[in-house]
Amino acid sequence: MMKILLAEDDLHLGELIVHLLKKKGMDHIDWVQEGEDAYDYALAEFYDVVVLDWMLPNGDGVDICRRLRQNGYTGAILMLTAKDAVHDRVTGLEAGADDYLVKPFEIDELVARLKALARRTFVPLQVENVTFHGFTLNRTSHTLHRGDEEIFLTPREFQLLDLLVQNQGQVVPRETILDRVWGWDADVSMKTIDATIKLLRKKLKADVIQTVRGVGYKIEK
């Protein structure tokens, strides 16, 4: 059963989302109305997805998302926002959000996003540590190291990098990345994949991920 944390300060909208999600069979929902409460709840309990409104009293959603990631939180985070500009989208992704949904939205779209985020593609644990180009990727702890330095990745970034590492030397098409990392039922554009790749490259600080124009991405062996 999926467990959701909803941080939404609008009383009417919060009640409506909780009511409609429960009608869709999602009964395990904790609802808070302030940023600091969302931060405390997320660290105290396990949630399949944390849903953060962009504008929250006592700590806005972007700030709470960033602080959670800096504190090592690896759960899925979905941002709710009335902001639809590319700049705002990148701001949310850079803060560590896995996905975002622009208000107003249909409840079926929110449910689809939640299901896609909650679905995790775990690699069999027999190959725990994988090394590539001076990096060590640990599939059990979902961590990435360069020597003794840990490089923090969001769950989406880790899944994307792991998919590329599993297929070293081969081009992974954008469509495959979309299916394996986000899920076909997620309303995600190819630009979101490209933006996530850009953030990954920035964190790796190395020319490891190659673009194959018009097809996808690959990591050389």
The whole-model pTM stands at 0.58
pLDDT tens by residue, 154-184: 888 998 999 899 888 888 888 888 878 887 6
Average pLDDT over residues 11-30: 93
Q: Given pLDDT bands bounded at 50, 70 and 90, which one contains residue 127?
A: low
Is residue 9's pLDDT more than 90?
Answer: yes
Q: Amino acid identity, residue 53?
A: D
The Cα 147–Cα 170 span in angstroms is 25
Average pLDDT over residues 204-219: 91
Ramachandran region, residue 25 (left: φ > 0; alpha: ψ -120 to 50; beta: rest): left
Question: Over pLDDT 70: what percentage of the chain?
Answer: 94
Q: Domains (ranges, CATH) in the chain?
A: 3-118 (3.40.50.2300), 129-219 (1.10.10.10)
Q: What is the pLDDT of residue 121?
A: 36
Which residues touch 198 (CB under 8 Å, ≥6 apart)?
none
- Three-class SS state of 192: helix
Q: Given pLDDT bands bounded at 50, 70 and 90, which one contains residue 93?
A: confident
Bridge pairing between strands 129-132 and 76-81 = unpaired
